[in-house]
């Protein structure tokens, strides 16, 4: 954009001079550059959220008679939601998925990798980081294709296990395990990077002094390192929980939520209701529940990091 | 200057939105030339409609100067097509003018005002009175008694079986099962004596959508005493009764006794292709509960030419549960060419529909797909039955066939049926528990407990 | 445990972790260069680019990749311009609502995008935007904005104000000082945000899958899913080749900004104090 302006901005601009024109100028000075962002955010982020609050209370669908005249149905969608065994099933699966793949899997594995990598040679770190991050960089559908070939009945894992007599069709015999493992694989890099950054801030002289005092590796970890990176751990947990809560593509491409509803987490159930059966009102009620849960986690996260804005 | 900047930003935003709105509205009436957009489905393993419509487009454009036919194929299976059509139909701008429509969805679209009645045009088309039997004309009749589509195909369903597999299992051919028990006995014999062969295949999972409900479940339910999803006299949906539970029980036996395809295949949306293109030709499958069209892949013009199929493959009606009269059961559906109520040039649209469904094009469609012909002159044509010895059998099944209760809520009822079937496939529920879950969910799906009656 | 034993144990566990992470890649990499690869085939010593040749055509690869470039590129450019403009007042002026605004943005990054899609989808229908690529790009930009503004502001905070003051003395306005002084100095930051947004959208499957209607508009993320579900078992080699072609740009771009990314992680993992 080549539009120029002649008024130099003032750094400590406080528009409290009382004069309305000046105040307007002061407002314009931040409103103009901030404007496009505000417009986009209001239309495409705030708008849909408010919209979902509205349609969650209607019987909106995309086909049939309700698609031409949807009407207000009160709390009917929510009553249906909490009596819907498929929704409750999806909710439990989401819970297992988040705990298994994020809180336990990615978080612990990321911390472990970051810890044992500390102080190793550059080449070694490069190789390990490279492989772990590669799993994170591949698009989710490709990740699903990788895991599909790995876990399928005639896949890589069964070739390796074949001699032990353990081979089976993992995607059907253990679909939750399959998506949890795949998501650990894909997401560990994030936790690893967060913890590597946090650990680099732990003063090494403190650890060395403790070692001289005869503290074992485990004691040093529990009493020095972990308390020092406490806040990183908590924020990391919040962030990966939020990401995992919304996970869709990987599960959809890998198991499609199946077999049956055995790996149908809430985002997948919501997808089925809203985009396959076109129950937009019902789907929005589910979306709203997810948004509220996300908002709670997000607020806890904000509290934790006490960010300086 | 700032104002200039704001203005330019607004201009950008408006331009973007305008471009967005204009996104899909093709220049339907630009320059006076008319364009009819036609939506249909196609697939690498099902290219037939594409061929028919291309032929019809050539014929039509030659006869109607100034009108172009814009063919919009949707890649994928039926479920993908239903979704795409429903979405495009949401707004007048994106709705196609003319489209291939599955008959079971017609009522829902009539209720939503998406379809144009064709009665006025049909009056001017002599073929409608002379070539279509009254039963065929019902295919796309709305609740208001008007006609909303011209049939391009109809179909029946039954059992296909592989004679080589039967020989290995020591079962006599021609095979004529009289009861469900006979079918299960044959499947068990195959499992016992023909290792590596899948004894029985049917559609029973959500990925197959309506195919699971119709080819799978309803073929069982409508063969039980009094079994139906909808009670026509009471005008109510039927909550699960004994027939419903028994039908689920049949599916349960198939999967619990490992008589069906393995889970990965049962959930594979391409199961139908596996059956026709791999398992039957390679003698890896004993029995398939499916539609009349399965053999179309094996024709010289099909996707898997297999001239020996007429000797290797047998066909027989699906028996009723315990051999109750009339002894066999079939389900019929079919596809129509329908017109959008949003279509601008309805006269031209109907002219194209009548071109697609004329004798020449219907014949091409019927011969290549193996679907049954809705037109009398096509059914009587020697090329129709020339290289398909099974066609008379499938046509005759019309005497025992049933139609789906294709009311507006039917697609949702169908989805509930699929849930129950899927529970049988995975074994997550016992048949009576799944039947109870169906009965519990039915009132909400069909719009209230007063629209539901207890099953028999 | 002696030091040597501890060191060996650490090395062994690192080796095991690396191998476990490599496992799922193996068959994709091998199958892509095997002429007759499918899911159940055994690896052979045959080597060929047949699979790549088979998918390198307009419909399978080129068109979807071009769509991906248009969608991801459009989103990245729009996001960078809009977030760059927005970051300027947030970084340079004292504004009463600033803290709340920044916290709201951070809060927004936590909301599950999957859940927002249902109302967005319904809105797109209401306003006749379903299937529109420009509208999809606007939505994608909006969803990328909160995080982009945060990153932009952080990078901009790193550019000393004193450098701008010289420009103001010369009579430059904020637009000039932003474009001539600030942006050149934070070029690496701008590159990071651009690539971050671009790579994010490159892999985005759900949004275009839900908002775009016809295959001609779909980016590679969606067509590869379609290919996967239609031919995943029979033509795994071709799927693998397609996967590699589609993944390559994301990897290259990631490597390009890798060294700048460390900074954003200490941010993500919390700011001390």
- DSSP per position, B157-168: EEEEEEHHHHHH
Q: Are residues A193 and A98 in the same domain?
A: yes
- Judging by beta carbons within 10 Å of its beta carbon (0-12, 13-18, 19+), is residue B377 exposed, middle or buried? middle
Chains touching C (at least 3 CB pairs under 8 A) are A, B
Compute the Cα dihedral for C130, C135, C140, C143 and give only its sign: negative
Q: DSSP class of residue C234?
A: T
Least confident of A113-122, B18-27, B192-201: B18-27
More confidently predicted of B12 and C152: C152
Give backbone dihedrals phi and psi of A121, rounded to 5 degrees, phi first.
-65, 160
Give residues with Cβ within 8 angstroms of B179, minimum separation 6.
B319, B320, B321, B322, B323
Asked if residue A186 and residue A146 are part of one domain, the reply reads yes
Helix, coil or strand: residue B43: strand
- Which H or E element spans position B290? strand B285-291
CA distance from start to end of chain B = 79
Interatomic CA distance for residues C122 and C126, integer angstroms: 6
CB contact under 8 A, C134 and B23: yes
Helix or strand run (H / E) with residue B274: none
Taking 70 as the pLDDT cut, the residues of chain A under it are 1-20, 63-68, 306-309
- Contact list, B265 vs chain A (CB under 8 Å): none
**Domain match, A96 and A36 both:** no
Structural domains of chain B in order of their starting residue, each with its CATH number: 29-155+333-399 (3.40.190.10), 157-332+405-453 (3.40.190.10)
Residue A267 forms part of a structural domain: yes
State whether residue B87 sits within 8 Å of chain C by CB: yes
**Residue A105 DSSP SS3:** helix
B375 forms bridges with which residues in the sheet? B132
CB atoms closer than 10 angstroms to residue B403: 16
The pTM score is 0.83
Q: How confident is the model at residue B245 (pLDDT cuts 50, 70, 90)?
A: very high
Q: Kindly determine whether residue C213 and residue B17, on different chains, have CB atoms separated by under 8 Å.
A: no
Facing residues of B74 across strands?
A: B41
Three-class SS of residue A137? helix
* pLDDT for B13 beyond 50: no
* Closest residue on chain A to C238 (Cα): A145
CA B204 vs. chain centroid, Å, equals: 15
CA separation for the pair B35, B345 (Å, rounded): 8
Same structural domain, A14 and A117: no
- What SS3 state is found at C113? helix
* Mean pLDDT, rounded, for B389-397: 90
Beta bridge partners of A20: none
Q: Measure Cα distances from B425 to B216, B222, B264, B456 in Å.
A: 12, 20, 11, 25
Residues B54-101: tens digit of each pLDDT: 999 999 999 998 999 999 888 777 877 887 888 788 778 888 999 999
CB A197 within 8 A of CB C262: yes
Do A210 and A138 share a structural domain?
yes
Asked whether the bond before C19 is cis by omega within 30 degrees of 0, the reply is: no
How far is it, in rounded angstroms, from Cα A64 to Cα A66? 6
Q: What is the pLDDT of residue B424?
A: 95
Question: Nearest 5°: phi and psi at A300?
Answer: -60, -40
Distances (CA, A) of A211 to A118, A215, A216, C3: 16, 5, 7, 12
Q: A43 and A190 in one domain?
A: no
Q: Give domain limits for chain C.
A: 50-268
C247 pLDDT above the threshold of 50? yes
Mean pLDDT (chain B, rounded)? 88
Both A161 and A235 in one domain: the answer is yes
Q: Is the peptide bond before B174 cis (omega within 30 degrees of 0)?
A: yes
Range C142-168 average pLDDT: 88
Which chain B residues contact residue A5 at CB under 8 A? 1-2, 5
Task: Quote the distance between the C-alpha of residue A231 and its chain's center.
Answer: 18
Interface confidence (ipTM) of the complex: 0.87
**Which burial class, exposed, middle or buried, applies to C5 when counting CB atoms under 10 A from its CB (0-12, 13-18, 19+)?**
exposed
Nearest Cα residue in chain B from C136: B20
Are C130 and C213 in contact, with CB atoms under 8 Å apart? yes
**B100 forms bridges with which residues in the sheet?**
B337
Q: How far apart are CA C49 and CA A140, in angstroms?
A: 24
Residues A239 and A292 in one domain: yes
Q: What is the DSSP letter of A305?
A: H
Q: Which residue has the tokens 């003698």?
A: B283
Cα distance between residue B219 and residue B161, in whole Å: 16
Q: For residues C178 and C161, give the distance between their C-alpha atoms in angstroms, rounded to a whole number.
A: 11
CB B103 within 8 A of CB B411: no
- A21 and A109 co-located in one domain: no
Pick from A187-191, B118-122, C74-78, C253-257: least confident = C253-257
Rounded distance, CA C142 to CA A44, Å? 6
pLDDT score of B15: 39
Q: Give yes or no: residues A149 and A22 share one domain.
A: no
pLDDT at B296 over 80: yes
Contact C86 A36 (CB under 8 A): yes
Looking at domain C50-268, its CATH superfamily turns out to be MetI-like (1.10.3720.10)
The two tokens of residue B362 are: 């219907």
The whole-number average pLDDT for the span B129-148 is 88
Question: Could you give the number of structural domains in chain A?
Answer: 2
User: Distance between CA atoms of C62 and C242, rounded to whole angstroms?
Assistant: 11
Tens digit of pLDDT for each residue in B408-426? 788 889 999 999 999 999 9
What the block records as the tokens of B180 is 């469900």
Phi, psi of B328 (to 5 degrees): -140, 165
Starting at the edge strand found earlier in the chain, the sheet holding B318-319 runs: B318-319, B328-332, B401-403
Based on the fold, state whether residues A92 and A36 are members of the same structural domain. Answer: no
Q: A252: which chain C residues are within 8 Å (Cβ-Cβ)? A: 205
Does residue A69 lie within any of the structural domains?
A: no
The H-assigned helical ranges of B112-199 are 119-123, 126-131, 134-137, 163-169, 180-193
Q: What distance in Å separates the CA atoms of residue C246 and residue A134, rounded to the nearest whole number? A: 14
Please tell me the predicted confidence (pLDDT) of residue C41.
62
CB burial string A55-81: b at 16+ within 10 A, e below: bbbbbbbbbbbbbeeeeebeebbbebb
The nearest CA of chain B is from the CA of C155 a distance in Å of 25
In-domain check, residue A155 = yes
Residue C27: half-sphere exposure toward Cβ, Cα within 13 Å: 31
Does a structural domain hold residue A129?
yes
In a domain, A70, yes or no: no
SS3 A12: coil
- What's the mean pLDDT in B306-325? 94
**Share above pLDDT 90 across residues of chain B, in percent, rounded to a whole number:** 60
> Dmax over Cα atoms in chain A, in whole Å?
85
CB atoms within 10 A of CB B60: 21
Strand partners, B95: none
Secondary structure (3-state) at B226: coil
For residue A13, what are the domain limits?
1-47
**Domain with A217 in it: what CATH number?**
1.10.3720.10
Mean pLDDT over B198-212 rounds to 93
- A-facing residues of B in 266-295 (CB < 8 A) are 266-267
Tokens 């026709």 sit at which residue? B276
The nearest CA of chain B is from the CA of A249 a distance in Å of 17
Q: Are C112 and A232 within 8 A, CB to CB?
A: no
Residue C182: the pLDDT is 87
Measured over the CA atoms of residue B163, residue B164, residue B165 and residue B166, the dihedral's sign is: positive
Q: How confident is the model at residue C262 (pLDDT cuts 50, 70, 90)?
A: low
Contact by Cβ (8 Å): A187, A243:
yes
E strand spans, B6-95: 34-42, 67-75
Q: Which residues on B lie below 8 Å from C226 (Cβ)? A: 75-76
Q: How far is A8 from chain C (nearest CA, A)?
A: 5
Give the residue with greater pLDDT, C42 vs C4.
Answer: C4
The answer to whether residue C122 scores a pLDDT higher than 80 is yes
- Picking from A179, A184, A185, the residue whose alpha carbon sits closest to that of residue A257 is A179
Taking the C-alpha atoms of residue B185 and residue B187, their distance in angstroms, rounded to an integer, is 5
Which subunits have 3 or more CB–CB pairs within 8 Å of chain A?
Answer: B, C
Please name the residues in contact with A118: beta carbons below 8 A apart, sequence gap of 6 or more.
Answer: A199
Mean pLDDT of C33-52: 77
Asked if B86's CB is within 8 angstroms of A62's CB, the reply is yes
Asked if the Cβ–Cβ distance from A274 to C250 is below 8 Å, we say: no
Most C CBs within 10 Å: which of A2, A43, A44, as the mutation test of the C interface?
A44
pLDDT in tens, B88-123: 887 788 889 999 999 888 888 888 889 999 999 999
For residue A56, tell me if it sits in a domain.
Answer: no
Residue owning tokens 């934070």:
C186
Residue range B117-141: mean pLDDT, rounded: 91
């Amino acid at each position: 954009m080549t539009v120029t302006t002649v008024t130099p901005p003032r750094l400590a601009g406080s528009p409290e001079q009382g004069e309305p024109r000046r105040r307007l100028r002061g407002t314009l000075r931040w409103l103009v550059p901030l404007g496009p962002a505000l417009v986009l955010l209001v239309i495409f982020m705030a708008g849909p959220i408010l919209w979902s609050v509205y349609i969650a209370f209607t019987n909106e669908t995309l086909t049939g008679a309700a698609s031409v005249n949807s009407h207000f149905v009160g709390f009917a969608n929510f009553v249906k939601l909490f009596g819907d065994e498929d929704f409750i099933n999806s909710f439990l699966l989401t819970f297992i998925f988040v705990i298994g793949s994020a809180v336990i899997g990615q978080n612990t594995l990321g911390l472990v990798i970051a810890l044992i990598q500390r102080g190793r040679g550059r080449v070694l770190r490069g190789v390990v980081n490279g492989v772990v991050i590669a799993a994170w960089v591949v698009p989710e559908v490709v990740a699903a294709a990788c895991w599909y070939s790995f876990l399928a009945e005639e896949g890589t894992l069964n070739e390796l296990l074949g001699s032990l007599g353990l081979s089976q069709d993992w995607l059907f015999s253990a679909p939750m395990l399959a998506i949890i493992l795949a998501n650990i694989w894909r997401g560990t890099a994030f936790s690893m990077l967060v913890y590597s950054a946090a650990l680099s801030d732990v003063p090494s002289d403190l650890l060395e002094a403790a070692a001289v005092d005869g503290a074992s590796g485990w004691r040093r970890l529990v009493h020095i390192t972990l308390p020092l990176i406490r806040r990183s751990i908590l924020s990391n947990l919040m962030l990966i929980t939020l990401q995992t809560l919304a996970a869709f593509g990987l599960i959809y491409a890998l198991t499609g939520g199946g077999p049956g509803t055995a790996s149908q987490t809430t985002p997948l159930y919501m997808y089925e209701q809203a985009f396959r059966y076109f129950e937009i009102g019902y789907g929005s009620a589910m979306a709203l529940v997810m948004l509220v849960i996300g908002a709670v986690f997000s607020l806890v996260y904000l509290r934790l990091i006490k960010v300086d804005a | 200057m700032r104002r200039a900047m704001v203005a330019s930003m607004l201009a950008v935003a408006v331009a973007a939105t305008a471009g967005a709105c204009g996104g899909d509205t093709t220049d339907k009436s630009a320059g006076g030339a008319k364009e009819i957009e036609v939506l249909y489905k196609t697939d690498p393993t099902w290219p037939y409609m594409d061929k028919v419509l291309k032929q019809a487009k050539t014929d039509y454009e030659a006869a109607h100067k100034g009108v172009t036919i814009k063919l919009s194929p949707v890649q994928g299976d039926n479920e993908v097509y239903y979704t795409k059509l429903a979405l495009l139909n949401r707004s007048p701008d994106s709705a196609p003018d003319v489209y291939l429509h599955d008959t079971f969805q017609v009522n829902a679209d009539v209720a939503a005002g998406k379809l144009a009645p064709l009665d006025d045009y049909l009056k001017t088309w002599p073929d409608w009175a002379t070539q279509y039997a009254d039963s065929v004309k019902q295919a796309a009749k709305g609740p208001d008694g008007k006609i909303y589509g011209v049939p391009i195909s109809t179909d029946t369903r039954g059992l296909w079986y592989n004679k080589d597999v039967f020989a290995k299992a020591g079962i006599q051919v021609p095979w004529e099962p009289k009861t469900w028990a006979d079918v299960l006995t044959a499947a068990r014999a195959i499992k016992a004596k023909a290792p590596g062969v899948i004894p029985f295949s049917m559609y029973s999972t959500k990925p197959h959508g309506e195919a699971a409900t119709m080819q799978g479940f309803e073929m069982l339910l409508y063969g039980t005493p009094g079994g139906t999803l909808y009670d026509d006299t009471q005008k109510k949906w039927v909550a699960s009764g004994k027939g419903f539970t028994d039908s689920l029980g049949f599916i349960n036996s198939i999967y619990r006794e490992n008589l069906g395809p393995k889970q990965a295949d049962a959930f594979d949306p391409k199961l139908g292709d596996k059956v026709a293109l791999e398992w039957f030709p390679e003698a890896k499958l004993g029995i398939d509960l499916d539609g009349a069209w399965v053999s179309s892949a094996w024709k010289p013009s099909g996707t898997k030419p297999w001239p020996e199929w007429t000797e290797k493959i047998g066909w027989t009606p699906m028996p009723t549960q315990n051999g109750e009269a009339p002894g066999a059961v079939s389900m019929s559906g079919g596809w129509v060419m329908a017109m959008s109520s949003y279509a601008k040039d309805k006269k031209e649209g109907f002219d194209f529909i009548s071109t697609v469904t004329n004798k020449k094009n219907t014949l091409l469609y019927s011969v290549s797909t193996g679907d049954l012909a809705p037109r009398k002159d096509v059914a009587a044509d020697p090329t129709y039955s020339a290289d398909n010895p099974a066609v008379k059998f499938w046509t005759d099944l019309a005497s025992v066939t049933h139609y789906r209760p294709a009311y507006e809520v039917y697609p949702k009822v169908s989805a509930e049926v699929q849930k129950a079937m899927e529970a049988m496939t995975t074994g997550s529920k016992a048949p009576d528990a799944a039947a109870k879950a169906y009965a519990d969910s039915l009132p909400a799906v069909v719009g209230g407990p007063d629209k539901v009656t207890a099953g028999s | 445990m002696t030091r040597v034993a501890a060191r060996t144990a650490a090395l062994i566990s690192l080796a095991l972790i690396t191998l476990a992470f490599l496992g799922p890649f193996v068959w994709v990499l091998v199958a892509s260069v095997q002429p007759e690869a499918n899911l159940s085939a055994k690896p052979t010593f045959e080597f060929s680019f047949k699979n790549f040749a088979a998918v390198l055509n307009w419909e399978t690869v080129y068109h979807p990749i071009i769509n991906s470039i248009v969608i991801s590129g459009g989103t990245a450019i729009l996001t960078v311009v809009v977030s760059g403009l927005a970051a300027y007042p947030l970084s340079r002026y004292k504004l009463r609502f600033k803290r709340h605004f920044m916290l709201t943005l951070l809060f927004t990054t936590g909301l599950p995008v999957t859940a927002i899609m249902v109302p967005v989808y319904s809105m797109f229908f209401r306003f006749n935007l379903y299937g529109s690529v420009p509208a999809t790009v606007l939505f994608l930009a909006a969803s990328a904005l909160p995080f982009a503004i945060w990153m932009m502001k952080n990078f901009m905070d790193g550019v000393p104000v004193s450098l701008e003051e010289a420009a103001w003395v010369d009579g430059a306005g904020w637009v000039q000082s932003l474009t001539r002084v600030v942006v050149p100095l934070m070029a690496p930051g701008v590159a990071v945000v651009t690539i971050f947004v671009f790579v994010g959208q490159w892999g985005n499957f759900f949004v275009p899958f839900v908002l775009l209607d016809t295959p001609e508009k779909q980016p590679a993320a969606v067509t590869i899913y379609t290919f996967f579900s239609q031919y995943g078992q029979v033509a795994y080699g071709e799927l693998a080749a397609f996967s590699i072609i589609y993944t390559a740009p994301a990897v290259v771009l990631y490597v390009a900004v890798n060294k700048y990314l460390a900074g954003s992680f200490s941010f993500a993992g919390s700011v001390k104090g």
